[in-house]
Amino acid sequence: SPWNPLFQAMESEISAAFDSGEPEDVLSRAFKLAVTREDICTLQPLGWLNDRIMNFYMGLLVERSKKEGYPAVYAFNTFFYSKLSSTSHKGVKKWTKGVDIFEHDVLLVPIHLRIHWTLLVVDLREKTIKYFDSLGQRGDHICKTVLKYLEEESREKRKIELTASEWTLHSMGTEEIPQQNNGSDCGVFVCKFADFISRDKPIIFTPEHMPYFRRKMVWEIIHQQLL
């Protein structure tokens, strides 16, 4: 097929990112982040994605959302939720300095639970807060924590009271979203949940797609461009 040479060029580039050079080599710079070869190597099979890869990928999703035809997306940093849950709105109110999160359609909150990545999604159009966990654990308390944050952020930044009763909070069930079949793919699941949601697309991938998604993400991060 005409795609073959392109695909081969991409494949050799991805392999080179993993295999040649020093761990501290910087392979991509954007969003105030420098991604090194060591970071990229977490995208090898069964690697654990780190904060830098997660935050960089969220940055790519936000960039894409500025194009015509995409919902307006805001992504919180991976450190946001742990700071919020250990302090309160006061501890994180500076994080949105100069940003009105309520001007967006979708808010992405990647969450690091010690050794597991999950995703919380606020849809401001629908007034829903949904929790996505590829190991099927419920996150009702996480949804409530974020709703409380939204109430305080709205009061503080816009002087508008949010009506909590108008909001729907929901932990996605194992029959609603794909589940990981190993102990290391949670970060890739979070990135792909966020990718599909930020295009308003139904989540139709499976665990079998993970090796392909990992390699694709290497190329996307190096080129700072989503395929």
Identify the CA nearest to 182 among candidates 40, 39, 47: 47
Cβ contact 40:24 at 8 Å: no
Identify the CA nearest to 41 among candidates 23, 54, 57: 23
Exposure string of 132-154, with b = 16+ CB inside 10 Å and e = fewer, is bbbeeeebeebbebbbebbbbbb
Alpha helices in the chain (DSSP H): 3-19, 37-40, 51-65, 80-86, 89-92, 140-158, 186-197, 210-223
Q: Provide block-wise average pLDDT over 10 residues at a time, the chain (227 residues).
A: 70 88 92 95 94 97 94 96 91 90 97 94 97 96 96 92 94 96 95 97 94 94 92
Per the residue annotation, which of 39, 133, 185, 195 is the catalytic one?
133
Pair of tokens at residue 212: 């392909």
Q: Is the pTM above the cut of 0.85?
A: yes
The pLDDT value given to residue 1: 53
- Note the pLDDT tens digit of each residue in 67-89: 989 999 999 999 999 999 999 88
Q: DSSP string spanning 140-156?
A: HHHHHHHHHHHHHHHHH
Per the residue annotation, which of 41, 51, 105, 116 is the catalytic one?
116
The pLDDT value given to residue 133: 97
Give yes or no: 186 in active site: yes
Residue spans of the domains in the chain: they are 8-223
Per the residue annotation, which of 112, 143, 186, 195 is the catalytic one?
186
Give yes or no: 141 in active site: no
Pair of tokens at residue 159: 């002087």
Topology (CATH) of 8-223: Adenoviral Proteinase; Chain (3.40.395)
The pLDDT value given to residue 147: 97
Q: C-alpha distances in angstroms, 114 versus 44, 107, 121, 127, 149?
A: 21, 22, 20, 29, 21
The pLDDT value given to residue 2: 53
Cβ contact 117:197 at 8 Å: no
